[in-house]
Amino acid sequence: MRSRQTCLLGVAGLACLLMLTMGGCDGVEDAEAAKEFNAKLGDMTVTVFPAYVRETHPHYDAAESAKIADFLRSEGHATCTLSEAEVPIAGDWGKNQAKMFRNSLKSFQEYLAAYPIDTDYALLPEYLMGRDSVGGVHVYVVARDGRVPYGTGANSHHPEFKAVDPKTAADATEVAIRRMRNELQERAGERAKAKLGTDTALTIYPVVMAGGPRKDVADVIGLMLEREGMKAHVTTETQYTPSTECTPAELGAGFSQFIRQNPPETEYALCVEFCGTPQSGPTEIRNVLVTRTGTVLWTDVQTPNDRDFKRIKPDCPMTCCVLATERLKPKFGLGGLFGPKQTSHRFEQLWQKSSNTPDEAEFAAMKQRLETLRKSAATARVLVYPPRLDEDVDRECAEHLVELLEAQGLANAVAASTDVHFEIAGSSNEQRVLWNFARAVQQHVQANPPDAEYALFADYLAGPDHVGAVHFVICDRAGDWVLVDFQNSHHDDFNQIAPQNRSDCDRLVARRLRHHLH
């Protein structure tokens, strides 16, 4: 029997006695049993016994064990049964915490051999209490056959212990839960990672970016993953909003907690963040992938110093989506010459609907109309309207375009004498901007037939020192589309001209028209 002097040691005395770093309890766990345990996480049954509280007068605390059972249930690790049986623990206090751990574990195994459980596993917490503090926290797990698949311990050397600074049995339970959460998430994570593939049920949350989370941007990532072969992913309106200027680790921890409190219907959840402002441009692209129980499987950060960032050169939400998707592809076995092919078209159909994109029949009709223009290019009268630049138009650009188009074989191109102002809403979906512009042009031409066989309208999406995209539309006199074209940094012609000003945009329109007419 230990002396009263020993059991009344304060925190400083206990810290001196319990100098062992418990780690993963090497030498205690059975390797094969641990593999089986890891494989069963999320689909196991556990009997949880009242916590054994070692102090001057040892006692059992069923209420604290119930908290651990709630943790295992709520985070999806196990189905738990609470036992009222008090497990007798032999062995005195000593200077060797590892020895105390093994002695208590042996007592637990002997009890279970005498009183078998009906569940897959049994769990027993043990708290080493000082006079005014907790000296150590142990958790023992034993399989029905007596093998030990998992055990953990913590003292003042461990971060979970330091974070709580435990003084009471309730504090000790908090240490146990934090310790188990970290270790079981790691074990569950390895299992979950092995299950990732094209059929993975994944919820993509609205992308975190300047101005607030955006579901439409998440839809873009969904479309890109679909085109690479993913089949069972969805997006959601539910928003996760992290604290401003959080670190990648804080983003992962916050999203994990958010998912535990608001679990999705799918098995996995993805948070993507685009850091930066319209002025600075993208500075970081972050991905956080978690299970529906909050286990963080993967956190990825791309900065301008990283290879994929340098290769893709993200400069807008669309190219940021490209980078985020490129980083995700290996996790789900996507991409490559022999990678999966697209079989689902849910996001593609959603994208077409949200983009105002015409149907296949209209594209086929446009192809025929373009062939007619191609045959009559040398004589057809083409009215060139001043290109749109934000809310303004530029007549000099129209005259410059006429000169360039004549050089491309449109010998009867003339500048329109009237200006047309269109109000086109901005969007991260460039296709939506393009087709909204095309429909506005169509409506104008139908209402105001030109004195020419064709009418050309251009839209330059540009800032003071940057051109993001160049769009142009050609309609016939009836207002039917003949050609709708767009160029951005993903296209060769755009990159060869590398437009920096309005004149460059004019040259790009002329280059594209030559491509279509020859």
CA 307-312-316 angle, to 5 degrees, is 130
DSSP state of 331: G
221-245 confidence digits (pLDDT tens): 999 999 888 889 999 999 999 988 8
pLDDT of residue 130: 85
DSSP state of 40: H
CA–CA dist 219, 285 (Å, integer): 17
101-125 confidence digits (pLDDT tens): 999 999 999 999 999 999 999 999 9
pLDDT of residue 4: 33
Residue that has been written with the tokens 């949200």 in this structure: 354
Buried b (16+ CB within 10 A) or exposed e, 341-350: eeebeebeee
Buried b (16+ CB within 10 A) or exposed e, 76-100: bbbebeebeeebebebebeeebbeb
234-278 confidence digits (pLDDT tens): 999 999 999 888 888 889 889 998 998 999 999 999 999 999 987
With bands split at pLDDT 50, 70 and 90, how would you rate the model's confidence at 25? Answer: low
399-430 confidence digits (pLDDT tens): 999 999 888 777 789 999 999 999 888 877 78
With bands split at pLDDT 50, 70 and 90, how would you rate the model's confidence at 96? Answer: confident
Give every CB contact of residue 267 below 8 A, 6+ residues apart in sequence: 192, 195, 200, 201, 202, 291, 292
The answer, yes or no, to whether residue 337 has pLDDT greater than 60, is no
DSSP state of 477: T
Nearest Cα neighbor of 185 from 113, 272, 257, 80 is 257
The answer, yes or no, to whether residue 20 has pLDDT greater than 70, is no
SS3 80: strand
Point out the least confidently predicted range of 70-74, 156-160, 169-173: 70-74
CA–CA dist 154, 136 (Å, integer): 6
With 0-12 CB in 10 A as exposed, 13-18 as middle and 19+ as buried, what is 513? Answer: buried
**Mean pLDDT, rounded, of the chain:** 87
Q: Which stretches of 40-77 are assigned E, i.e. beta strand? A: 44-48, 51-54, 59-61
CA distances from residue 192 to 38, 39, 296, 464 in whole angstroms, order as listed? 10, 10, 10, 48
pLDDT of residue 26: 52
